[in-house]
């Protein structure tokens, strides 16, 4: 038993770190450092740089552009990339669609979509949730009726992250409303967002930003060859997608980055006559988070290392532990960063105030973004299967209750 990285793994980590340091565009780096969400061009630009290096299609087979890494190497890469902080690879393309097409796609679908997904020539989004189907995904109602060589899709999806940036969407639709079990009447379609009949409506979240959307389908024609896997077997695809390797689900690198940002702010602001970083209560909170990060890191090693040896292809239910503990930690680290900002956590237009004062005020800019992260990451325990659903999974799959 040895929890340390091997010399090879350490060398790999250094290689990743050096590559990110030398190749992450300066303006992207600066925005990320201040806590801004990356813009579309930041995400696209960085993923293309990584793809050119052969580092984008993380868990895909080599023949489709994967780097041929071990699970441990993927974990190291993801953590380093999050902690840099650099924009994350677009998960819709890399951890969701890619493995699905590799597993279930036709040769034509693979050739057409995989290289473009790796290079972010197509930005994908995920059309799963509906107003009446959140945690209970199988309740989805969006209908696809077969008419000749097309499906005609009607209905709506909600909480569709980045749909406003997207070129394509993978969508779960109901193809057989009469199926005995509701899971048996669902199919998985690839939909071009430029198809007539699609309307994207923004949903502004509590951070005041536009991440989320509603997507409406009104007689949208989708060619039959855009169906992945058999008709009415889309639930298999969805289960595969949701249970697929979830390295990075703990988002440990992001938590590390938030704690570092909080400490950086705490060195600059004062509290009771001395820098906040010297306050005992603040230090205690940081120490507790460092303990929690360490525990999560080792648990993640254990899950990744067990996963590397599993042969049944089924997800490790312990990845639900990573999801719950990882998002709890992420939320508490964003709280810490926001609290470190004190009163500067409140203004929305800190940047404008700074401009009025005619001097760059990076501290209040970072404070504004710290609050933004805090607000938006309340979603972390909701998306990807709420933490309550994760506990249901643990109850059923591990505890057998």
Partner 1 sequence: MDFDLSEDQRLLADSVTRLLADRYGFEARKGFLKQPVGWSAEMWARYAELGLLGVPFAEEHGGFSGGPVEVMLVMQEFGRALALEPYLATVVLGGTALRLAGSAAQQAAILPAVAEGRLKLAFAHGERDARYDLSDVQTTAKRADGGWVLDGAKSVVLHGDSADRLVVSARIRGTREDPDGIGLFLVDAHADGLARRGYAMRDGTRAAELSLTDVAVVDSDVLGDPGSAFSVIERVVEAGIAAMGAEAVGAMEAMQSLTLEYSRTREQFGKPIGTNQVVQHRLSEMLMALEQGRSMAMLATISVEEPDPAERARSISMAKVGYGQAARFVSQQAIQLHGGIGMTEEYAVGHYFRRAMVIEHTFGDTAHHLARLAAQVQ
By annotation, the residues acting in catalysis are 245
**CA–CA distances in Å: residue 267 to residues 171, 235, 368, 373:** 47, 50, 17, 20
Minimum CB–partner distance for residue 77 and partner 1 (Å): 15
Specify the residue, 353 or 394, whose C-beta has the smaller distance to partner 1: 394
> Are 128 and 385 contacting, i.e. CB atoms less than 8 angstroms apart?
no
Cα separation, 172 vs 227, in Å, equals 10
Contacting positions for partner 1 (CB under 8 A): 1-6, 9, 72, 263, 277, 280, 283-284, 286-288, 290-292, 294-296, 298-299, 301-302, 305-306, 318, 321, 324-325, 388, 390-392, 394-395, 398-399, 401
> Are 186 and 234 contacting, i.e. CB atoms less than 8 angstroms apart?
yes
Cα separation, 344 vs 364, in Å, equals 6
Cα separation, 28 vs 394, in Å, equals 39
Beta bridge partner(s), residue 186:
174, 233
**CA–CA distances in Å: residue 285 to residues 35, 187, 238, 299, 335:** 20, 47, 39, 21, 11
Specify the residue, 317 or 347, whose C-beta has the smaller distance to partner 1: 317
User: Residue 291 contacts by C-beta under 8 Å, 6 or more apart in sequence?
Assistant: none
3-state secondary structure of 231: coil
Task: Quote the tokens at residue 363.
Answer: 């501290």
H or E element, residue 186: strand 186-192
> Are 33 and 264 contacting, i.e. CB atoms less than 8 angstroms apart?
no
User: Residue 111 contacts by C-beta under 8 Å, 6 or more apart in sequence?
Assistant: none
Specify the pairing of strand 270-271 against strand 168-174. Answer: unpaired
DSSP state of 89: P
Specify the pairing of strand 210-223 against strand 227-228. Answer: unpaired
CA 160 to chain CA centroid, Å, is 12
Torsion sign (Cα): 252, 6, 71, 16: positive
């Amino acid at each position: 038993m040895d929890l340390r990285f091997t010399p090879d793994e350490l060398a790999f980590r250094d290689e990743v770190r050096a590559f990110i340091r030398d190749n992450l565009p300066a303006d992207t780096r600066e925005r990320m450092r201040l806590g801004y969400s990356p813009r579309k061009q930041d995400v696209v630009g960085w993923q293309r740089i990584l793809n050119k290096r052969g580092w984008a299609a993380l868990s895909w087979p080599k023949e489709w552009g994967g780097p041929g890494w071990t699970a441990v190497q993927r974990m190291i890469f993801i953590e380093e990339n999050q902690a840099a902080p650099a924009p994350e690879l677009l998960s819709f393309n890399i951890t969701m669609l890619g493995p699905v097409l590799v597993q279930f796609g036709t040769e034509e679908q693979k050739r057409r979509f995989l290289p473009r997904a790796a290079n972010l020539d197509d930005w994908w989004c995920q059309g799963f949730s509906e107003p009446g189907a959140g945690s209970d995904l199988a309740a989805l109602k969006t209908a696809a009726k077969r008419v000749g060589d097309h499906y005609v899709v009607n209905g709506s999806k909600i909480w569709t992250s980045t749909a406003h940036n997207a070129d394509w969407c993978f969508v779960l639709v109901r193809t057989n409303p009469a199926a005995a079990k509701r899971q048996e009447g669902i199919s998985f379609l690839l939909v071009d967002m430029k198809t007539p009949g699609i309307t994207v409506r923004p949903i502004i979240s509590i951070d005041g930003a536009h991440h989320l959307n509603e997507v409406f389908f009104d007689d949208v024609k989708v060619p039959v060859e855009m169906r992945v896997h058999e008709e009415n077997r889309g639930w298999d695809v969805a289960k595969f997608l949701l249970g697929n390797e979830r390295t990075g689900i703990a988002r440990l690198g992001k938590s590390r980055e938030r704690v570092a940002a909080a400490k950086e702010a705490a060195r600059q602001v004062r509290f009771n006559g001395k820098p906040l970083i010297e306050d005992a209560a603040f230090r205690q909170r940081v120490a507790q988070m460092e303990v929690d990060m360490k525990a999560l890191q080792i648990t993640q090693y254990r899950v990744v290392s067990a996963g590397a040896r599993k042969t049944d292809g089924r997800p490790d239910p312990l990845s639900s532990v990573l999801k719950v503990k990882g998002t709890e930690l992420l939320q508490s680290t964003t709280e810490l960063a926001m609290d470190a900002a004190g009163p500067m956590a409140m203004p929305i237009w800190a940047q404008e105030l700074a401009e009025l004062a005619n001097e760059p005020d990076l501290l209040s800019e970072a404070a504004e973004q710290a609050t933004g992260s805090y607000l938006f990451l309340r979603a972390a325990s909701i998306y990807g299967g709420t933490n309550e659903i994760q506990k249901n999974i643990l109850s059923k799959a591990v505890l057998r209750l």
